[in-house]
Amino acid sequence: MTEQVLDAGEPAPAPVTRRRVTLRPRRARSKLESSFRTPWWHRAAERTIAVFALTAIAAIALIFIFIAREAIPMFWEAEFAEEVQIRDLFMAKEWHGYDDPVFVWQPVGEPAKFNVIPLFVGSLKVTLLAMLMSIPLGIGCAMFIALYAPRSVREVVKPAIELLAGIPSVVLGFFALMVIASWAQATFGFRFRLNAVVAAIGLALTIVPVIFTISEDAIQSVPKTLTEAALALGARKYQVALRVVLPAAIPGIAAGVVLGFGRAIGETMIVLMASGNAAVMELFDFSTSVRTVTATIAAELGEVAQGDPHWRVLFLLGVMLFGVTFFLNIVGDLIIHRLQKKLTAS
Amino acid sequence: MMKHTKKDWLLAGLTGVSLFVILLLLFVLLGQIVWHGAPVITAEFLSESPGADMISGGIWPAIYGTVFMTLLMTLAGVPVGIATAIFLTEYASPRSRVAKLVRIAVNNLAGVPSIVFGLFGLGFFIIFVGGSLDAILYDDPRPVWGKPSILWASLTLAVLTLPVVIVTTEEALRQVPGELRDASLALGATRFQTVYKIVLPNAKGGILTGVILAVSRGAGEVAPIIFCGAANFLPYLPTDLRDMFMHLGYHVYALATQSPNVDAARPTLFGTVLVLLVLTFSLNLLAVIIRARSRAAIRS
Q: What is the CATH number of the domain that holds B85?
A: 1.10.3720.10
- Burial of residue A321 (number of CB atoms within 10 Å: 0-12, 13-18, 19+): buried
For the segment B85-93, the average pLDDT, to the nearest whole number, is 90
The beta strands (E) that lie in chain A are given as 105-106, 113-114
Per DSSP, A234 falls in state: T
Q: Which of A174, A325, A334 to mutate to test the interface with B (most CBs of B within 10 A)?
A: A174
Contacts of A321 in chain B (CB under 8 A): 113, 115-116
Q: Quick one: pLDDT at residue A221?
A: 85
| Structural contact between residues B16 and A148, judged by C-beta atoms closer than 8 angstroms | yes
Per DSSP, A275 falls in state: S
Q: Quick one: pLDDT at residue A2?
A: 44
Q: Which of B22, B32, B91, B117 to mutate to test the interface with A (most CBs of A within 10 A)?
A: B22
Say how far apart CA B199 and CA B209 lie, in whole Å.
Answer: 16
Confidence class for position A30, pLDDT limits 50, 70, 90: low
Residue A213 has pLDDT above 60, yes or no: yes
Q: How far apart are the first and last CA of chain A?
A: 68
> Domain for residue B294, yes or no?
no
CA atoms within 13 A on the CB side of A288: 14
Number of domains in chain B: 1
Q: Which helix (H) or strand (E) holds B192?
A: helix B191-193
Architecture field, domain A86-344: Orthogonal Bundle (1.10)
3-state secondary structure of B57: strand
Torsion of CA B272, B275, B279, B281, to 10 degrees: 100
> Domain for residue B26, yes or no?
no
Q: Quick one: pLDDT at residue A5?
A: 46
| Structural contact between residues B165 and B211, judged by C-beta atoms closer than 8 angstroms | yes
A175/B33 CB distance under 8 A = yes
Q: Quick one: pLDDT at residue A1?
A: 41
Q: Quick one: pLDDT at residue A28?
A: 59
Q: What residues contact A308, with CB distance under 8 A and at least 6 apart?
A: none
Q: Quick one: pLDDT at residue A146?
A: 86
pLDDT digits (tens, 9 = 90+) for A249-262: 888 888 889 889 98
Torsion of CA A28, A32, A34, A35, to 10 degrees: 160
Q: Quick one: pLDDT at residue A12?
A: 56
| Structural contact between residues B283 and B215, judged by C-beta atoms closer than 8 angstroms | yes
Confidence class for position B1, pLDDT limits 50, 70, 90: very low
Percent of chain A with pLDDT over 90: 31
Q: Which residue has the higher pLDDT, B4 or A306?
A: A306
> Domain for residue B276, yes or no?
no
Task: Calculate the average pLDDT of chain B.
Answer: 88
| Structural contact between residues A309 and A79, judged by C-beta atoms closer than 8 angstroms | yes
Q: Quick one: pLDDT at residue B113?
A: 93
> Domain for residue B31, yes or no?
no
> Domain for residue B200, yes or no?
yes
Q: What residues contact A110, with CB distance under 8 A and at least 6 apart?
A: none
Confidence class for position A105, pLDDT limits 50, 70, 90: confident
Three-class HEC string of A155-172: HHHHHHHHHHHHCCHHHH
| Structural contact between residues A26 and B57, judged by C-beta atoms closer than 8 angstroms | no
> Domain for residue B155, yes or no?
yes
Bridge partners of A78, per DSSP, are: none
CB atoms within 10 A of CB A265: 25
A266/B115 CB distance under 8 A = yes
> Domain for residue B258, yes or no?
no
In angstroms, the Cα distances linking B2 to A144, A151, B170 are 18, 18, 42
Q: Quick one: pLDDT at residue A212?
A: 92
Q: Which residue has the higher pLDDT, B138 or A70?
A: A70
B123/A163 CB distance under 8 A = no
What residue type is B79 in one-letter code? P
Q: Which residue has the higher pLDDT, A6 or B297?
A: B297
Confidence class for position A4, pLDDT limits 50, 70, 90: very low
Q: Quick one: pLDDT at residue A19?
A: 55
> Domain for residue B29, yes or no?
no
ipTM of the complex: 0.90
Percent of chain B with pLDDT over 70: 98
pLDDT digits (tens, 9 = 90+) for A314-345: 999 999 999 999 998 888 888 878 877 776 66
Top-ranked range on mean pLDDT: pick from A38-42, A289-293, B44-48, B76-80: B76-80
Q: Which helix (H) or strand (E) holds A102?
A: none
Say how far apart CA B280 and CA B113 lie, in whole Å.
Answer: 20
For the segment B191-209, the average pLDDT, to the nearest whole number, is 89
A294/B108 CB distance under 8 A = no
Q: Which of A141, A172, A330 sits opposite B18 (nearest CB)?
A: A141
B91/A236 CB distance under 8 A = no
Q: Which residue has the higher pLDDT, B64 or A81?
A: B64
Q: Quick one: pLDDT at residue B3?
A: 56
Say how far apart CA B2 and CA A234 lie, in whole Å.
Answer: 10
A42/B101 CB distance under 8 A = no
Q: Quick one: pLDDT at residue A27?
A: 56
pLDDT digits (tens, 9 = 90+) for B24-45: 999 999 999 999 999 988 888 8
Per DSSP, A84 falls in state: -
Confidence class for position B128, pLDDT limits 50, 70, 90: very high
Q: Quick one: pLDDT at residue A343?
A: 66
Of B125, B124, B146, residue with least CA distance to B135: B146
Q: Which residue has the higher pLDDT, A35 or B45?
A: B45
